[in-house]
Structure 1
Amino acid sequence: MILSPAEITLDCEADHVTLVWMDSRTQADTSLFRLGSCVPTSLTPRQAFFSVELNDCDFRRLVTGSELNYTNDLVYASSPDSYVHPFTLPVVCSYERPQDWFPRIYEPVFSTYGVENLVFHIGIMNADFSGPAESTTFSLGSLIPIMASVEQQTHQPLLLLLEECVATTTPELQPGSDFYPIINNKGCLVDSKFSRTKFEPRQKSSELQLSLQAFRFALAQEVYIHCTLLAWDPNGLDQTKKACHYKKAHGWELLDDAAYSNLCDCCDFTCNSRKKRSLASGKNGLAQKAVLGPLIITDFTS
């Protein structure tokens, strides 16, 4: 695919990208080109050549309608007195979205006590949670459907929980960075106290559906949601192993059994467990960190 005649040639393959900048008309220093975070694979005085994987160089993945798009930037950085001024060009690889594609942010396999493997998933869904979202751009105040799940295979029945979720503008959590709390205190959906955010009724013990009201934090910027997923013994719930959301007329309520909502009483304080259970033993469950995004929240009224 030719983006600009005699300048950029882009070849998008299934999981690999080849990009060539070639121009004999300028005095650009080809060593100053960057594709995202990657330096040229090879170069000549008039050519910068990149041969990279789609999971490298900070490519961004976005599903829109029937397309799965990977985007990046070809950047040329030079000094202010250079003959060639700095510039940035978009790089886009578009693919037909597989019919069964699901935005699997994490797909690790773990061994747990006495049984085979666990595989965790998290993704942004369509309005009725029946499939992946066609867009990851949401208007302020709308609901963002999020589903997390764990594939149990032959494991003893486990309950999927979200211990913690925060929103940031970076794909990695960094010390001192700004963040928006969504779930904290070992399973308390704190955002539900101030919005329409809520857990949806559970369809399967191995799945958890969250309707998150789009928030004002980092409007029009890329937002990443960092979560800790936990697969746990359904008979081992306590103040640190739970899913609680706030209902305006009733206060904190336990998603899986409202009769035991006293487990949520600590959500406004500090939730601690009296039980000496350890994830390190692997006997009760397993936790895994995951990152969902990027997504963008816009305010169309501003």
Structure 2
Amino acid sequence: MMAFFWQSALLLSLAAAVSVYADMKLDCRPDFVTLVWTESRAQADTSLFRLGSCFPTSVSAREAVFSVDINDCNFMRMVTGNHLMYTNDLTYVSSPDSHILPFEHPVVCAYERPKDWYPLIYDPVFDTYGQGDMVFHIGLKNGDFSGPAESSSFPLGSLIPIMAGVEQKNHQPLLLLLEECVAASTPELHPESSIYPIITNKGCLVDSKISRSKFEPRQKSSEIHLSLQAFRFALGEEVFIHCKLVAWDPVGLDNTKKACHYDKEHGWELLDNAAHSNLCDCCESTCKSRWMRSTASGKHGIVHKAVLGPLTITDVNS
């Protein structure tokens, strides 16, 4: 598939201190990348250069050469408009007795995205590592959540099945929650970004007050299923859903760690135990914990940010 991509390369300028002493040549091909770093400082050890997780393919006294597959070396892929952006870092790992300081330099390849091509977003994987090497997932599913979605396009008013999960590996059993989710028309959020709130206030599915959106009954504590009614925001455009996932101690729920949706007959309900739906009362105001508990420490849970998309919501009347 990459063979059909139009080739281009974005060469970002070096920091002033680096550009005086070195030169980088980057060749972005459909299937692989060739990077040649030419170093003029005699003290530099070219074997200490790394492209992401990759070692040089070959080295000489003045050059470090990388010829690698675009899918290797921990290249990050991002869709921006009509382009696929592959980004990485060239780093120098200085030895303890060296006078040359460690540094890193951005490496970017851009390919034109064919109009009939879409990224594999139906079951994307976003990895993070906290206690016990947990791996987070978020993706679009089919109607009964039994497999990946067949399309990334959804008619206005239809339900968008979204599943998020965490592989716990050696970690103690945890409960997965969606703390925040917003829709935006960009893969990255900026202060000036126009957004559509979906989940706010520490786990309140606010969209459920004005739509058929709801959390589905859990099948596993490590997964959460969301049926999101397709909305008018960015109708016909690419939409990205930005979420904050939280893997939490199942017995440590409070009004800041919960999953609540609004039922038209019963009001706010707690997904995991309707008898304790009073934890959702703050969804109409501000949800704050009585105790200060830091997730950054890993004592109670791990927080992970993920982006799902792009997907498209279409107007059935157009």
* Structure 2 length-normalised TM: 0.68
- For 1:250, which of 235, 251, 266 is the aligned residue? 266
Partner of 2:163: 147
- Post-superposition offset of 1:153: 1.2
Q: Any conservation in 2 of the 1:105–1:292 contact (CA below 8 Å)?
A: no
- Post-superposition offset of 1:58: 4.4
CA distance in 1, matches of 2:237, 2:257: 33
- Post-superposition offset of 1:256: 0.3
Partner of 1:212: 228
CA distance in 1, matches of 2:294, 2:270: 22
Partner of 1:190: 206
| Structure 1 position 11 matched with structure 2 position 3 | yes
Q: Closer, same or farther in 2 for the Cα pair 1:216/1:280, shift >3 Å?
A: same
Partner of 1:109: 129
Q: Closer, same or farther in 2 for the Cα pair 1:230/1:90, shift >3 Å?
A: closer
CA distance in 1, matches of 2:207, 2:315: 19
SS of 1:109's equivalent in the other structure is coil
CA distance in 1, matches of 2:200, 2:211: 16
- Post-superposition offset of 1:213: 0.2
- For 1:161, which of 158, 173, 177 is the aligned residue? 177
Code of the residue aligned with 1:103 in structure 2: it is: D
| Structure 1 position 172 matched with structure 2 position 195 | no
Question: Please, which runs of 5 or more residues in structure 1 have no aligned partner?
Answer: 2-9, 21-33, 43-47, 62-70, 74-88
| Structure 1 position 91 matched with structure 2 position 107 | no
Partner of 2:101: none
Q: Closer, same or farther in 2 for the Cα pair 1:194/1:300, shift >3 Å?
A: same
SS of 2:296's equivalent in the other structure is helix
CA distance in 2, matches of 1:276, 1:168: 31
- Post-superposition offset of 1:280: 2.3
- For 2:252, which of 236, 249, 274 is the aligned residue? 236
CA distance in 2, matches of 1:58, 1:120: 18
SS of 1:259's equivalent in the other structure is helix
SS of 1:91's equivalent in the other structure is coil
- Post-superposition offset of 1:267: 0.1
Partner of 2:300: 284
CA distance in 1, matches of 2:260, 2:142: 23
* Structure 1 length-normalised TM: 0.71
SS of 2:258's equivalent in the other structure is coil
